[in-house]
Amino acid sequence: EEVRQELQASHPDDPQIVVLKHNVWRVKGLIQISRSIGDVYLKRPEYNREPLHSKFRLRETFKRPILSSEPAIAVHQIQPNDHFVIFASDGLWEHLSNQEAVDLVQNNPRNGIARRLVKVAMQEAAKKREMRYSDLKKIDRGVRRHFHDDITVIVVFLDSNAISKANWSRGPSVSLRGGGVTLPANSLAPFSTPTVLSSTY
């Protein structure tokens, strides 16, 4: 609601700036996010034209940017009962609620939990399309985009004892999956502090 109000206030002359489509609020009826690194066709009018594919273009012209690349920042002081953080693209949240994702992480082993979240989301996508997950997996990645949005997930586990003692010698454990890219083990960029990441795929 807050984001819808923000968009409506910045585009008072456009009653279609936010549209409820397929039971989801979408900016211009196209996209579920209001901030993005990409999607330049919704930021700069000169890119809202050919040769960009028509499905990535608006039918009307615009003067003010529709999306922003400025991040929305929230600060949360870590508490002893905070156990993990789930970072995920909107493809995950299209199929799982916050609570469903949290329950999955809490009730399953840490190792490979990001992969499990991606799989459950894809199973939901298959169910919505009235097909089997195994059949969805067989579809070429380029074509599969018509069946579900890209899904990238990172789960960072917090050790409240290490945090409270400011002793991160073991480092947080991380589960990472998504984007169709397979990374070799221990290929994440090193931190500037002596933190070791154990990565699972």
Q: For residues 201 and 112, is the Cβ–Cβ distance under 8 A?
A: yes
Statement to judge: residues 52 and 104 lie in one domain? no
Same domain as 94, residue 147: yes
Specify the 3-state DSSP secondary structure of 88: strand
User: What's the pLDDT score for residue 175?
Assistant: 61
8 Å CB contact between 201 and 182? yes
pLDDT the model gives residue 177: 63
Of all helices (H) and strands (E), which one includes residue 93? Answer: helix 90-93
In this structure, is residue 62 part of a structural domain?
no
pTM of the model: 0.65
Whether residue 112 is contained in a domain is answered as: yes
Answer whether residue 40 is part of any domain. yes
pLDDT score, position 190: 40
- Angstrom distance (rounded) from CA 67 to CA 31: 10
What range defines the domain where residue 104 resides? Answer: 84-161
Within the chain, strands assigned E span 18-21, 24-27, 84-88, 152-157, 173-178, 198-200
Can you give the pLDDT at residue 173? 62
Specify the pLDDT at position 60. 80
Say whether both 101 and 155 belong to one domain. yes
Mean pLDDT by groups of 10 residues along the chain of 201 residues: 92 92 86 87 85 76 88 88 91 91 96 93 85 79 72 87 51 58 48 36 34
pLDDT of the residue at 164: 52
